[in-house]
Amino acid sequence: MGLLDPTPPPYDPLVWVEQPLEPRGQQVCQAWALQGYGAPIPVYVAYALKVVGYVAAWMFFCSFTPGLGGYADIASWWLNPIAFQKAVTFSLFFEVLGFGCGSGPLTGRYLPPLGGLLYFLRPGTTKLPLFPGVPLIGSDRRTVVDVLLYAGLLVSLVRALVAPTPGFDEFLPIVIIVPVLGVLDKTTFLAARAEHYWVTVVCFAFATNWIAGAMAVQLALWFFAGVSKLNHHFPTVVAVMTSNGPFTRFEWMRKLMYKSYPTDLRPSTLASVMAHLGTLFELGVPIAFMLTPLGTPPVVAIVLMLMLHSYITSNVPMGVPIEWNVAVVYGGFALFWAHPDVSVLTLGPTWVAAFVATFTLVLPILGNLRPDLISFLLSMRYYAGNWACSVWFIRKDAVKKLEKLTATSPWIYDQLKPFYEKGTAVGMVGKVMAFRLMHLHGRCLPYLVPKAVDRLQDYEWLDGELIAGMAIGWNFGEGHLHQEQLLSSLQRQCGFEEGEVRCVFIESQPIHVQALAWRVVDAKKGQLEAGSLAIEQLRKHQAWTTS
């Protein structure tokens, strides 16, 4: 193996890919259990260096403020309120450029390793408007107006970052442009991690006590992330993530995550206990911080926070939200450690408090009750395994029609061609199949794939995340970005015939409903079938079979 070669699966990928679902699924899930995605170590090194660059760039922008930005005296200024404002502003800039979540090979991006600005600055690329078909704002192709607005956002962000003391005049354009871009393209709004960074920037601009507003946002991030894990999905996340962690590359450790490797790959008791403990930590952090003004030492919450985020980042989860985790940890220090006496109840004026409450309470609650209506990001249901998702089946002789798209990310195998021979590339893409199958929602697929296609071997199996990455320039686990709206847009641009593209769409589980809704859709004909599957039914069988 070369330095950049992935861990080879214990089967011939070119033979494997010609098999039906059950043997193919069993082999790839068994391989994931011990190998994970199999990314080479230099990939993780590259992600670590990206974090270093992220922090260094923040320090650079802090240096425009007198007294901030120096490496030698960082201990004297890193908790300064202006340093925090620049951290949030820079994080929004970093994410909306495409350098943060959803970048690099662990998200199916090889050449180029990011989408973001490569799409958002290019007219003609595909977008997902909030109101499709409505004149002026409902086009599914990016226009010069879209590009200019996005460029205006970048300029506004840089303007705030280089200001010695950014204030209302610097933050107002950001406050306005982000939601306007969101109306024109939902992808851009989500890519900016607006539920966190944009809401906080609104507090910078309008709140009489913006620290209280930023605290409210951060408390909601932790709390609803914990709430979202009160289900049967999260143990599968822990097992799948541990099988892929760069510091858990021991077969004996990975086998402990499953009931009985290799025959029973449902999460073990240990994986379930770890999941429940993680949920308690995620709920405990905001509770401990809220108790700080009442006399609880802030170090209690800080220790819980560091333990929680150290576990997350050390496992380098697929989607790689590493910089976002760094920003959250920094916020814990810059807000709660530096200002332990501030209460979220001091946020004002009233309309700002209502705005913040909408994003930190109303939308997350609605998103848990009706996840089909609200993005898991706006619902703050982070990495719980309970995601809307899709699998696209594209007949092999129809793949070439995707070349009609205006895109900067080519077909996944064309991205891999400069690095690997065909068998290696098929083995790598095939591992994404295991990632999907081994989560609880993935156990729907043995029921649904036969409803979608008659002979699986005639089709390319592509996770919707890979389709979104290629077609719209950003993917980060938001399944609604690669469901009917995107399919309809690609159908208009590519002109697939009936049966050439079939999709399985699976919705998130509402917190009060013990079932997952699903749909099977043909690109040309539309919906073919719909129904639901009970959670208890899915928990009983393996990822590759219905028995």
pLDDT digits (tens, 9 = 90+) for 81-101: 999 999 999 999 999 999 999
pLDDT surpassing 90 at residue 292: no
pLDDT of residue 538: 98
Percent of the chain predicted with pLDDT > 90: 96
pLDDT, one tens digit per residue, over 8-42 is 999 999 999 999 999 999 999 999 999 999 999 99
Percent of the chain predicted with pLDDT > 70: 100
Cβ-contact 409, 481 below 8 angstroms: no
The count of structural domains within the chain is 1
What is the arithmetic mean of pLDDT over 374-399? Answer: 97
pLDDT of residue 304: 94
What is the arithmetic mean of pLDDT over 318-343? Answer: 95
pLDDT surpassing 80 at residue 2: no
Residue 143 lies in a domain: no
Tell me the pTM.
0.96
pLDDT of residue 348: 87
Q: Interhelix angle for 464-471 vs 422-438, to 10°? A: 120
What is the arithmetic mean of pLDDT over 68-93? Answer: 97
pLDDT surpassing 60 at residue 1: no
Residue 412 lies in a domain: yes
Structure tokens at 39: 């990314």
pLDDT, one tens digit per residue, over 425-473 is 999 999 999 999 999 999 999 999 999 999 999 999 999 999 999 999 9
Domain extent for 509: 389-539
Residue 144 lies in a domain: no
Residue 161 lies in a domain: no
Residue 471 lies in a domain: yes
Residue 409 lies in a domain: yes
What is the arithmetic mean of pLDDT over 216-243? Answer: 97
Residue 402 lies in a domain: yes
CA 19/CA 24 separation, integer angstroms: 6
- Please state, rounded to an integer, the average pLDDT across all residues of the chain: 96
- Listed as own residue / partner, the contacts of 526-531 with beta carbons closer than 8 Å and 24 or more positions apart are 528/451, 528/452, 528/502, 529/451
pLDDT surpassing 90 at residue 4: no
DSSP letters of 144-193?
HHHHHHHHHHHHHHHHHHHSSS--HHHHHHHHHHHHHHHHH-HHHHHHTT
pLDDT surpassing 80 at residue 393: yes
Residue 318 lies in a domain: no
